A and B are shown apart, each in its own frame.
Chain A
Amino acid sequence: AQKITQTQPGMFVQEKEAVTLDCTYDTSDQSYGLFWYKQPSSGEMIFLIYQGSYDEQNATEGRYSLNFQKARKSANLVISASQLGDSAMYFCAMRESNAGNNRKLIWGLGTSLAVNP
């Protein structure tokens, strides 16, 4: 079973509007981390935001925020005031077991976002 599910293969948003990219996860660990990465058409992977499972507040980084709903096991990325440069693939990832030396990530299949002018 997939541990990270991104149900939206493709999304469109109008420039300057907000958009939510969905991510659900599956883990039995109590301590874990959730990540979002951006991959523009140029191919590089860019870290956007991190949320720890024990963090009480939703993570925010500039125009990016992570809507963390622990009981529903969802970690949606919200991009406010979309810009043309936000057009890219977006990947949700999870690090199971934040304890110990685990640093491995499990990745979703990604959502392609297109921002229309």
Chain B
Amino acid sequence: DAGITQSPRYKITETGRQVTLMCHQTWSHSYMFWYRQDLGHGLRLIYYSAAADITDKGEVPDGYVVSRSKTENFPLTLESATRSQTSVYFCASLAGFNEQFFGPGTRLTVL
């Protein structure tokens, strides 16, 4: 199916563990984004990527690592998860100049 998918959809992990959230898009959009959504903060940009092998920090990058070896994949890694990283994570890709298409989100709980 065409679109943008995220996996896993739900994840529970423990403080200090490494976690990788996957994002895959089928459109070959150049730009991709990772956001976190928390009550009281709206959506905040973690990292974004303009193309394969080009990534840049967003508003809240600390504690996260991204890579983009292929246009269609944009994984987000929490190197050592903390409770403050409990959130809903959205991946998005940009069609043209304006419309960002979002994945369904990953709900991450760090115990």
Contact = CB atoms under 8 A, between A and B. Distances in A.
In this complex, the interface size class of chain A, counting residues with CB under 8 Å from chain B, is: 10 to 19
A16 B86 CA distance: 38
Interface in A10-64: 33, 35, 43-47, 50
A50 B99 contact: yes
Interface in A54-97: 91, 93
B88 interface: yes
Contacts of B100: 45, 47, 105
B99 A43 contact: no
B58 A43 contact: no
Interface in B14-62: 31, 33, 40-45, 48, 50, 58
Interface residues of B, number: 23
B94 interface: yes
A109 B45 contact: no
B108 interface: no
B105 A103 contact: no
B104 A43 contact: yes
Interface of B: 31, 33, 40-45, 48, 50, 58, 88, 90, 92, 94, 97-102, 104-105
Interface of A: 33, 35, 43-47, 50, 91, 93, 101, 103-105, 107-110
